[in-house]
C-alpha cells in the first residue's frame, strides 16, 4: 500500500471515529428540551432498560425495543410538559406495547417484562401536570 493510500485510510478512520463520537455524544440531547420534572424519570427508565439485568433478556429481540420504548416515553414526557394527559397515557401504552409485542413474538416472556412494565408505569407521569 502506498503512503498516500495509508494516509487516506487513516483520515477516513479518524473521520469515522469522530462521527461515532459525535453521534454517541449527542444521544442524550433529546432529554434536554424537557422540564427537570420529566427528565429524571426518563433517565431512570433508560438506565434500567439498558442495565445488565435486562440487556441479556433483549438479546433475542432483533428490534432493539429499548430505543423504541424510549422514543415513546420521550413523547409522553413532551405531552406531559404540554399538559396533554390523553397523549401521555397513549404514549406510555405504546411504549408498553413494544414490550408486549416482543412477548407475542416469543422473544421473551410476560414474566420477563413484568418488572419493566411496572417500573415504567410507576415512574412515568400520570398525565396531570
Q: Are residues 16 and 55 in the same domain?
A: no
Residue 50 has pLDDT above 70, yes or no: yes
Residue reference for cell 411496572: 118
Q: Are residues 50 and 111 in the same domain?
A: yes
Non-local CB neighbours of 80 within 8 Å, separated by 6+ positions: 38, 88, 125, 127, 129
pLDDT per residue as tens digits for the range 67-83 = 999 999 999 999 998 99
Element (H, E) at 62: none
Domain around 62: 33-123
- For 92-109, letters b (16+ CB in 10 Å) and e give bebbbebbeebbeeebbe
Query: Given this model, what pLDDT does residue 37 score?
Result: 62
Residue 25 has pLDDT above 50, yes or no: no
Domain count, the chain: 2
Q: Identify whether 128 is part of a domain.
A: no
Q: Are residues 53 and 16 in the same domain?
A: no
Smallest CA-to-CA distance from 39 within 124, 115, 117, 121 is with 124
Residue reference for cell 397523549: 87
pTM above 0.85, yes or no: no
Amino acid at each position: 500500500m502506498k503512503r498516500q493510500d495509508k494516509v487516506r485510510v487513516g483520515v477516513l478512520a479518524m473521520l469515522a471515529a469522530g462521527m461515532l463520537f459525535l453521534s454517541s455524544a449527542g444521544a442524550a440531547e433529546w432529554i434536554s428540551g424537557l422540564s427537570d420534572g420529566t427528565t429524571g424519570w426518563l433517565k431512570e427508565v433508560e438506565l434500567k432498560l439498558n442495565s445488565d439485568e435486562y440487556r441479556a433478556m433483549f438479546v433475542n429481540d432483533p428490534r432493539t425495543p429499548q430505543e423504541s420504548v424510549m422514543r415513546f416515553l420521550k413523547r409522553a414526557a413532551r405531552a406531559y410538559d404540554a399538559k396533554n394527559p390523553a397523549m401521555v397515557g397513549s404514549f406510555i401504552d405504546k411504549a408498553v406495547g413494544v414490550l408486549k409485542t416482543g412477548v407475542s413474538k416469543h422473544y421473551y416472556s410476560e414474566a420477563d417484562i413484568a418488572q419493566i412494565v411496572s417500573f415504567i408505569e410507576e415512574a412515568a407521569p400520570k398525565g396531570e401536570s
